[in-house]
Amino acid sequence: MTHSGNPFGQVLVALVTPMTADGEVDWPAVEKHIDDVITAGADGIVVTGTTGETSTLTDPEKLKLVEVGRSVSAGRAKIITGGGSNETAHAIELYKASEKAGADGIMIVTPYYNKPTQAGILTHFRLVADATDLPVILYDIPGRTGVPIKYETILRLAKHPNILAVKDAKGDFSEVSRVLNQTDLMYFSGDDANVLPHLAIGATGLIGVTANVAAAPYRTIIDAVNAGDLATATAEHKRLEPLVRAVMTHVPGTVAAKYILHGLGRISSPRVRLPLVGPEEWEAALIEDELDLVQNVPGADFSNFRPDRNAAAGGALPKVHGTTR
């Protein structure tokens, strides 16, 4: 199927999955959080991605997140299902089920742990893209998967009619420019600190973790870039810098985002599932020091910030593990 235009949105939130203190998905909090970020300016939601703790979610939880996202968004934002699997057969079935559940698009991560060759990566992406009519974002994040999607492989994948975009967390700006020059692929910044630089060389949008806390500034940046107003985009980028540092520097982004959202009273618990754990005392102190520097960021008022290090401590062991089948 050929998709015209941009079927994903531009301000995409890599959604955290709110959980209860015992590590079960907090479905009312999921609904509220999705509505919050859409109201703040997000036009795309990536559920079950890295930030959503895909590795420890069960398949039924992943599919319900798609269903809930579609219901809450009610057409206001696209729902993209992320994660996938490092087993091609499982990834195919999961994305086919996600399409039936109402996903608007899929984001396929490079198979992790297996460390496949480029031929294996190419085959994995092609087979998954063949299995669904949904538009596809390739997720290139070698720091987590162990292998990059090489330039030559991206060019070959760009010929697939369903593969429309790349989420780039590799940080090779010269390669991004080269691919943009030689293909019709859209690029989404997958590194919160590099959103504006990516946009400046032609990226379409972002898939951000910090946007869980403050989506509105990213809407401002996108709208400013679309209007050719670099000064406004740069000013917002600078305002966001300490918040981005707080979320992305000291602990995994999921952990920090939940810690901050809970301190702001926007989710009921900062709990993450093992092997992730909440910030240790010194890590929490570093996060809070960064937050002290945040000023005038829309949607991120820390004057009533009440972090709870005890509530965040440790990690949950859910009743049902996230099996691969």
* CA pair distance 230, 233, nearest whole angstrom: 5
Cis, peptide link before residue 275, omega less than 30° from 0: yes
Q: Give catalytic status of residue 187 as yes or no.
A: no
Q: What are residue 187's DSSP bridge partners?
A: 166
Q: Collapsing DSSP states into helix, strand and coil, what is residue 163?
A: strand
Q: Give catalytic status of residue 150 as yes or no.
A: no
The two three-digit tokens of residue 202, written as one number:
């032609």
Spot the catalytic one: 62, 64, 78, 167.
167
The two three-digit tokens of residue 302, written as one number:
């820390």
The two three-digit tokens of residue 97, written as one number:
């089920």
Whether the CB-CB separation of 125 and 164 falls below 8 Å is answered with no
Question: Exposure pattern of 271-310 as b/e (b: 16+ CB <10 Å)?
Answer: bbbeebbbbeeebbebbbebbeebeebebbebeeeebebe
* CA pair distance 201, 187, nearest whole angstrom: 10
Spot the catalytic one: 95, 139, 218, 259.
139
| Rg of the chain in Å (alpha carbons) | 18
Residues involved in catalysis: 139, 167
